[in-house]
Amino acid sequence: MDLLMEERVFGKLDEVNASPEYKKNVAATKRILEYVVMVPGWQDKLLNSPLKALAEIGLGDYPDPDCLKILLSREEAERANKEIKLEDMPLSVLRYRNFIREKFQSRDEMAAKDCVPKDKRFAAWRTRQRNRCWIDLGMRNASIIHTPLIFEFSLGCSVGCPFCGVAAQGLKTVFRATPENRQMWQDILRTCKEVIGPAAGTGTCYYACEPLDCPDYEVLTADYADILGAVPQTTTAVAMRNPERTKKYLEAMRQREIKVHRFSVLSLDTLHKIMAFFTPEELLDVELLPQFPEAPDNHFTKVGRARAGEVATDETQEDGTIACVSGFVVNMAEKSIRLVTPCPSDESHPTGEIFVDRRSFTDAADFAAVLESMIADNMVIDFPRTEPLRLRETITIEETKDGIEILGRKGFKLRLTGNDDIPAELYKHTAQLILTGNKSPYDIVGELMTSINAPAAHVFFILNKLGRGGIFQEPYGSK
The site for ligand SF4 (CB under 6 A) is made up of 157, 159-161, 164, 166, 168, 208-210, 237
Rounded CA separation 151/342 (Å): 17
Our CB check for ligand SF4 shows the closer of 170 and 477 to be 170
Nearest CA to 321 among 65, 110, 133? 133
DSSP string, 6-57: H--SSBSGGG----HHHHHHHHHHHHHHHHHHHSTTHHHHHHHSHHHHHHHT
Our CB check for ligand SF4 shows the closer of 208 and 253 to be 208
- Find the shortest distance in angstroms from Cβ 164 to ligand SF4: 3
Radius of gyration of the chain from Cα atoms?
25
Our CB check for ligand SF4 shows the closer of 97 and 299 to be 299
Our CB check for ligand SF4 shows the closer of 54 and 237 to be 237
Distances (CA, A) of 230 to 61, 181, 259, 369, 446: 36, 21, 9, 25, 49
Rounded CA separation 333/211 (Å): 12
Question: Which residues pair with residue 247 across a beta bridge?
Answer: none
Our CB check for ligand SF4 shows the closer of 239 and 463 to be 239
Our CB check for ligand SF4 shows the closer of 209 and 445 to be 209
3 state DSSP class of 59: coil
Task: Report whether 194 contacts 149 (CB < 8 A).
Answer: no
- Find the shortest distance in angstroms from Cβ 358 to ligand SF4: 18
How, if at all, do strands 325-331 and 147-152 pair? parallel
| Structure letter (DSSP) for residue 232 | P
Rounded CA separation 371/311 (Å): 38
Phi, psi of 312 (to 5 degrees): -70, 135
- Find the shortest distance in angstroms from Cβ 244 to ligand SF4: 20
Rounded CA separation 454/429 (Å): 10
Our CB check for ligand SF4 shows the closer of 94 and 167 to be 167
Rounded CA separation 302/318 (Å): 6
- Find the shortest distance in angstroms from Cβ 304 to ligand SF4: 8
- Find the shortest distance in angstroms from Cβ 137 to ligand SF4: 20
Task: Report whether 197 contacts 118 (CB < 8 A).
Answer: yes
Q: Which residues have C-beta within 8 Å of that of residue 62, sequence separation ≥ 6?
A: 28, 29, 32, 54, 92
Our CB check for ligand SF4 shows the closer of 43 and 264 to be 264
- Find the shortest distance in angstroms from Cβ 237 to ligand SF4: 4
Our CB check for ligand SF4 shows the closer of 168 and 284 to be 168
- Find the shortest distance in angstroms from Cβ 234 to ligand SF4: 12
- Find the shortest distance in angstroms from Cβ 261 to ligand SF4: 14
Task: Report whether 355 contacts 167 (CB < 8 A).
Answer: no
Our CB check for ligand SF4 shows the closer of 208 and 323 to be 208
- Find the shortest distance in angstroms from Cβ 209 to ligand SF4: 6
Phi, psi of 204 (to 5 degrees): -130, 170
- Find the shortest distance in angstroms from Cβ 166 to ligand SF4: 6
Rounded CA separation 204/325 (Å): 10
